[in-house]
Chain A
């Protein structure tokens, strides 16, 4: 257990250390506003927070694009619309290697976050009929 924690600490540090200065501030905003719950590596905590890896798949589902802007952790982040849109675009490419097409704009984010999801379980777009 202890070893695992130490390792996490170390790996976490490396992840952070590699946030280069030039890398815009999306990486920094992620650390400040999201990583606490989803982890610096975006992998979430079982039973507590979902992983952000692969979430681009949600964009393919009906209502998925709106969902990503309305999920409470996103909608209520203490960032202005433009920075939040940039951060969400960054999260998509960073953890899903996919970008939204077109990318989220500040304007779209403004609209979506005004109406945060109340019930994320029933508000989450379900998968289309095909199984993986």
Chain B
């Protein structure tokens, strides 16, 4: 077996072990294929904000008003969030609350920073491991931005890559600058 096929072998074993159970992959398989409303899959992993790197200009933060407050759904990075804002749950926009861990798979969108007028790639990583937070439920889907929420409706669990699959809250991590605002079409 080549290295290229190793993941697939492991997957086949898993599927066999979990036969009958609706696993993430089984669901994803169905989901990704299904449907006329082809969903968008803008997702990215947990890459943090480059506290140490000066190579990508950091977005402006700390300005006044709800758009500058990570504890508000109006926070600029929350423009495509669907979930509980971690800043209200004992964490911050970039760190998971104690007792939870960041999911390795995630989804990505773009938001415009009102302070500098630039678009940024935002990764909405889920924090997993404790029952859902319940505070600051945010569900913004602004303007013509495409619908990033299909996967929740469709029951995909983005905590699948984490040790615990219980969803607690969502981060809003800047992973880069966007040259084009979403949507693509």
Enumerate chain A interface residues (CB-CB to B < 8 A).
1, 5-6, 8-10, 12-19, 21, 25, 28, 31-37, 39-40, 44-51, 54-55, 57-58, 72-73, 76-80, 83, 116-121, 124, 127, 131-132
Contacts and interface: CB of A to CB of B under 8 A. Distances in A.
30 contacts: A9-B46, A9-B49, A10-B50, A13-B48, A13-B175, A14-B53, A16-B176, A17-B55, A19-B176, A25-B179, A28-B179, A31-B121, A32-B44, A33-B43, A36-B41, A36-B43, A36-B123, A49-B105, A58-B4, A72-B32, A76-B41, A78-B184, A79-B184, A80-B184, A117-B33, A127-B2, A127-B4, A131-B1, A132-B2, A132-B3
A35 B45 CA distance: 6
Of A10, A49, A50, A121, which is in contact with the most chain B CB atoms at under 10 Å from its CB?
A49
Contact of A12 (B11, B24, B47, B108): B47
A40 B102 CA distance: 16
A18 B24 CA distance: 32
In the A-B complex, the 3 residue pairs with the smallest Cβ-Cβ separation, listed nearest first, are: A36-B43, A12-B47, A9-B48
Interface in B23-71: 24-25, 29, 32-33, 38-50, 52-53, 55-56
A76 B55 contact: no
B14 interface: yes
B104 interface: yes
Given A5-B101, A12-B45, A16-B47, A46 B10 contact: yes
